[in-house]
Amino acid sequence: MSKTQDRIILQRTGALVFALGIVEFYLGWTSAPPGTFRFQIFGMLIGLLVVFGNSRAISGVRWLAWLALLPAAVFLVSTYALLPASLLLAQMRFVPGQFTIEVGKQLLVVAVVILLIRQLGSAPVLAARAAEGRKVRNMRIPLAIGGVLALSVTIMEARVLNNADAAKAVQLAAAHVGPGYEYFTNRLFYQYGKQNIVNARVQAWNERELIEIPVRWEMP
């Protein structure tokens, strides 16, 4: 029995997404900090779901792709827009490989999301769903939800990176490294338990080097 056009589209799309998922897995593995491992298999799982999933699964993947569209695009921009311009230039100068990999990973996510939206929303795929009696969902709902999530997370991240804890992290890093550097807190982690701990990573840079300083302290 010959394959229908919708199945051809789904199998080709799923295979491509799976291949891009392998690339994502490799980039995550090679760019992980020493002593850590990034287990990124979501792209491969989505690819397999598109190839082997039923119409309900395909509909779910399409809905998730629309949900992820604005967050993927906004995070691609905000990740670098929230950094000082001089730090961005220092990253490109001193760690060009790592910088390129991080940008490439984010571009890859945006590309996969757009691919899924276009192919899973193509006329043959939608026609096959309609022939099964399934209603085509309104994608404005996940798009709007994704937009709200992207805006909320970006605002929260901007506030966290400029709050009092971020400033204290810079003070501790500067006390450790000394003058002659610019500083920026690029990560903050809060650990709650018997002791409430703030963990931060501060990047320090000048014309000669770019370094990252981990700092931590106990909250009162």
Q: In what order do the strands lie in the sheet with 182-191?
A: 182-191, 197-205, 210-218
pLDDT at 137: 81
User: What is the reported pLDDT for 94?
Assistant: 96
* pLDDT, position 1: 54
| pLDDT of 185 | 96
Name the percent of the chain in helix, strand, coil, to the closest 5.
65, 15, 20
Reference 10, options 48, 66, 37; nearest CA is 48
> Scanning the structure block, which residue is given the tokens 């798009």?
143
Beta bridge pairs of residue 215: 200
Rounded Cα gap, residues 198 and 188, in angstroms:
7
> Which stretches of the chain drop beneath a pLDDT of 50?
none
- The span from the CA of 184 to the CA of 203, in Å, is 5
Query: Which residues face 216 on adjacent strands?
Result: 199
Give the pLDDT confidence score for residue 34 in this predicted structure.
Answer: 56
Confidence (pLDDT) at 131: 87
Contacts with 67 (C-beta within 8 Å, 6 or more apart), sequence order: 142, 143, 145, 146
pLDDT at 30: 74
Instruction: Report pLDDT for 220.
Output: 80
- pLDDT at res. 134: 79
Residue 144 has a pLDDT of 97
pTM for the structure as a whole: 0.88
pLDDT tens digits, residue range 14-59? 999 999 999 888 877 776 665 555 668 899 999 999 999 998 999 9
Q: What is the pLDDT of residue 32?
A: 63
Nearest-angstrom CA–CA distance, 150 and 70 = 7
Contact of 203 with 186, CB cutoff 8 Å: yes
